[in-house]
Amino acid sequence: MRILHVALGGCLKAPPVKYGITEDTGGHIAYVLGAAMAQARNPAVRDVQIVTRAFLDPGLDPVHAEPVQNVAPRCTIRRLVTGDMRYLSKEALQAHLPELSRAFCDMLRETTEKPDVIHAHFADAAVLARAAHDEFAIPWTYTPHSLALQKSGAADCPELRDRIVAERAAVAGAGAIIVSSRDEAERQLLPYGADSEGRTHRINPGVSLDRDLGTAAARALIAPFLRDADKPILLAIARPVRKKNLGALIEAYAASPALQERANLVIVAGLRNGINAGPEEQMSVIRDLFDRVDRHGLWGKVALPARHDGAQIRSLYALAERGGVFVNPALHEPFGLTLIEAAQAGVPVVATRDGGPVDILQQLDAGKLVDPTDPADIADACLQMLRHPRRDWLAQKARHKARAAFNWDRWAAAAVQVYDGLRPAALQKAAPVRRILASDIDGTLTGCATAARQFGTWHDARPEGLMFAVATGRSAPEARRVLREWHLPQPDLFITSVGSEIWRPDGQGGMRLCQAYADHLSQDWDRDAVMSVLLATGIPLQPHYEQRRWKLSLFGNADAARSVEDALSDAGLTAHVIASHGRFIDILPVRAGKAAALRFEAERFGLTLADCVTAGDSGNDRDMLIASGASILPANAYSELSGITGLDIFRSSDRHAAGVLDGLTRLGLTATPKPGVHHA
């Protein structure tokens, strides 16, 4: 496979990169380089090129004017030369996109072997990818990195209107969209078109953390600012733009004498040549930071270094690991690469609750989320992490998890799978569907890697006419991610969000929402009224990305679920309330549920639920387990299913996917009989 990345903005060059040297030289460049170099190491990949824009600026490295630059074996940067060789900001690039598109297509015409796929980064690069697709039929993917509609008041901002239009076109046109967080996949992209979710893949990016060479470089960098340089540090690293909310961090620090007593504050806000040089927003932010430090009398406690390099950043992480904390107070953070860098370096993290950090901290199982508009909340969280009795243990646990979960080689392998899916599937005459297997994912098919692989082997040789569906509480992108990470087969049908959505593969790597089922559910569903009742109960809501068009979700047990049912009944509202796992409550339209979705799909093939086999392990599987013709419960099934009995309900003595295979054998749906299933 030959892969071509397009990223036009910022100072993209072979490492080392001076991040923050311009406003647009940020995390997306680390992403592109890390992704491309990892793909070049992948044995399935022949060649990786990164296309960017050539420019010559007296204040920037002259390498940016070179047409070709080697990055690593099988990985090269190629630069498009146009009539204007000035460095241009991301906003200024818009007027030059027609010329850049022509230059890009000219470059491809002269290329003997065209790329198999183009990966566009930001909407400006997507313009070039679309032009190449129109002329050469090269499939393309899109990674937004950040989206204009996330900015406050963006929809009414004339300056952002063109960018939003370009982003809508990129979302609509890409064969696949690759993002880094659930927030991006399930919230940020939705305003650009609901169908985007069926083409969205969440893949954890990696982190390219330099080798730890100790704290000396960091101490030398910040010592001139500090009276007591031996204190631990609160460390923030961000571009000097307003949305990073660095001023609120200074306010939090200023208002907490306990925090000042405990730690120094170190803010690395890009690279600057004085406070009166650089883009207007950068100058404004830097002046504001200095003003706040001055007004609160914090000199000697706050370090604001003007220049830094990669080695010094790594050294700052090493210094923060010694009793300190990393802080990201952004008003909105699309992802949060620096949080992963900090975690991989063993630094506890405090981060905004708005955006990607919610998902990152959940995966790390450590750190604190804060309201970025509340300085007191930021200060309290920092103090809690500094004083935590198990601070070092939590940091080491997060380090382990971060290194395992955020790995560029794993990202590269997953991205290649996505690219492969963009090739139209060969048309084959499908056998008539005679039966359907619908299985839950989490705990039912996952939980044992060996059994998951065995299930994949079964799937490859499954009986003709047996359709495989998953029925899960997860969203469609999350379901697909979990299946990919567990090396489980992609199903013929996705029943997602606890049976409130049906998604069907489109044959080109994406999925389409079943609008007929959506219309069916909407007939008796007043989402706003139901949400009002739920809020009045005081039962805590699950995170925002768990709130779907036809599903609302709370934290609570079976008793809380009964309270919800009573509250909805008192309000004259009908809904399907489901308790599961002893701690989750899902509220769906009365017509929804896993059994209802499975029945809807079965009827399309002239089948009934009696023709369906189901497998599950928790309360949100209960309705389909009871209603289907035969059901399988693995040994790890939750006690909330203990009351289910019947001749066609099989309880396996094996756990997870092994239990599912156990039941399928007894039902005559595998080649080799296997004993061990007993009737409930």
DSSP letter string, 540-568: PBPPGGG-BTTBEEEE--HHHHHHHHHHH
Whether 532 and 460 share a structural domain: no
pLDDT at 96 over 70: yes
Is 412 part of a structural domain of the chain? no
CATH number of residue 601's parent domain: 3.40.50.1000
Q: Which pLDDT band, with edges at 50, 70 and 90, does 352 fall under?
A: very high
Number of C-beta neighbours around residue 223 at 10 A? 11
Residue 530 structural domain:
524-588
Asked if residue 680 has pLDDT above 60, the reply is no
The pLDDT tens digits of the residues spanning 129-171 come to 999 999 999 999 999 998 888 776 666 677 778 889 999 999 9
Question: Is pLDDT at 102 greater than 90 in this prediction?
Answer: yes
**pLDDT tens per residue, range 528-582:** 999 999 999 999 999 888 899 999 999 999 999 999 999 999 999 999 999 998 8
pLDDT at 335 (0 to 100) = 84
DSSP 220-250: HHHGGGBS-TTS-EEEEE--SSGGG-HHHHH
Is residue 112, in this structure, part of any structural domain at all? Answer: yes
CATH code of the domain in which 572 resides: 3.90.1070.10
Burial class (CB in 10 A: 0-12, 13-18, 19+), 257: exposed
- Provide the CATH number for the domain around residue 42: 3.40.50.2000
pLDDT of residue 256: 96
Q: Give the pLDDT score at 428.
A: 59
pLDDT in tens, 584-597: 999 999 999 999 99
Strand 552-555, strand 466-471: pairing: unpaired
Would 420 be classed as within a structural domain? no
pLDDT band at 673 (very low <50, low <70, confident <90, very high): very low
Domains held by the chain: number: 4
Q: Where are the alpha helices (DSSP H) in 324-465?
A: 337-344, 357-364, 375-387, 391-405, 408-421, 449-460
Mean pLDDT, range 259-275, rounded to an integer: 92
674 has a pLDDT exceeding 50? no
Above 90 in pLDDT, residue 670? no
In a domain, 544, yes or no: yes
Residue type, 474: R
Residues 224 and 327 in one domain: yes
Residue 245 confidence (pLDDT) above 70: yes
User: Going by C-beta distance under 8 Å and a sequence separation of 6 or more, which residues neighbour residue 92?
Assistant: none
Give dist(CA 387, CA 348) in Å, integer.
11
Q: Looking at the structure, tell me whether residues 318 and 462 fall in a common domain.
A: no
DSSP-assigned letters across all residues of 514-531? -HHHHHHHHTT--HHHHH
Q: Which residue has the higher pLDDT, 493 or 190?
A: 493
Check whether residue 549 and residue 669 sit in a common domain: no
Tell me the C-alpha distance between 474 and 237, whole Å: 33
- Decide: 287 and 247 in contact? Cβ < 8 Å: no
Answer whether residue 276 shows pLDDT above 80.
yes
pLDDT at 6 exceeding the cut of 90: yes
* pLDDT of residue 112 exceeding 80: yes
Judge whether 385 lies within some domain.
yes
Residues whose CB falls within 8 Å of the CB of residue 678, separated by 6 or more in sequence, listed in order: 650, 651, 653
**Is residue 415 domain-resident?**
no
Same domain, residue pair 130 and 197: yes
**198/401 Cα distance (integer angstroms):** 28
Looking at per-residue pLDDT, the higher value among 340 and 335 belongs to 340
Main-chain phi, psi angles of 578, to 5 degrees? -125, 125
Better pLDDT: 419 or 273: 419
Contacts of residue 254, defined as CB under 8 A and 6 or more positions apart, other chains included, come to 260, 292, 296, 298
Statement to judge: residues 515 and 528 lie in one domain: no
pLDDT at residue 40 tops 90: yes
346 & 287 share domain: yes
Strand partners, 349: 326
Same domain, 286 and 379: yes
Is 27's pLDDT higher than 60? yes
Length of the chain measured in residues: 680
pLDDT tens for 178-224 read 999 888 898 889 889 868 899 999 999 998 788 888 999 999 999 99
> How sure is the predictor about 37, in pLDDT bands with cuts at 50, 70 and 90?
very high
In the beta sheet, which residues pair with residue 154?
none
Exposed, middle or buried, 400 (CB in 10 Å: 0-12/13-18/19+)? middle
- Pick from 658, 572, 556, 669: which is nearest to 613 by CA? 669
Q: Specify the amino acid at residue 289.
A: L
Instruction: Report the predicted TM-score, pTM, of the whole model to 2 decimal places.
Output: 0.86
Paired tokens of 70: 């080697």
What does the pLDDT read at residue 10? 94
Out of 588, 608, 636, a domain closes at 588
Q: Annotate 78-146 with DSSP letters as a single string.
A: EEE--S--S---TTGGGGGHHHHHHHHHHHHHT-SS--SEEEEESHHHHHHHHHHHHHH---EEEE-SS
Q: How far apart are CA 285 and CA 523, in angstroms?
A: 50
SS3 of 455, please? helix
Residue 629 in 3-state DSSP? coil
Same-domain pairing of 499 and 535: no
Same domain, 307 and 390: yes
Is the backbone peptide bond immediately before 16 cis, with ω within 30 degrees of 0? Answer: yes
Whether 661 has a pLDDT exceeding 80, the answer reads yes
Does any domain span residue 92? yes
To 10 degrees, the CA torsion angle through 289, 291, 292, 298?
100
Residues 140 and 252 in one domain: no
Per the model's pLDDT, the better-predicted residue between 43 and 27 turns out to be 43
CB distance 469 to 478 below 8 Å: no
In a domain, residue 418? The reply is no
pLDDT at 646: 73
Q: What is the average per-residue pLDDT within 482-510? A: 93
351 phi, psi to nearest 5 deg: -145, 155
DSSP, collapsed to helix, strand or coil, labels residue 352 as strand
Q: 643 falls in which pLDDT band (50, 70, 90)?
A: confident
Of all residues in the chain, what percent are helix, strand and coil, respectively (each to 5)?
45, 20, 40
The domain boundary, picked from 588, 607, 634, lies at 588
Final residue belonging to a domain, choices 551, 570, 588: 588
- What is the mean predicted confidence (pLDDT) over 245-263? 97
Q: Say whether pLDDT at 498 is over 90.
A: yes
Q: List C-alpha distances in Å: 431 to 39, 233, 464, 598, 600.
A: 37, 64, 7, 19, 20
Q: How far is it, in rounded angstroms, from Cα 380 to Cα 357?
A: 18
Same domain assignment for residues 301 and 443 = no
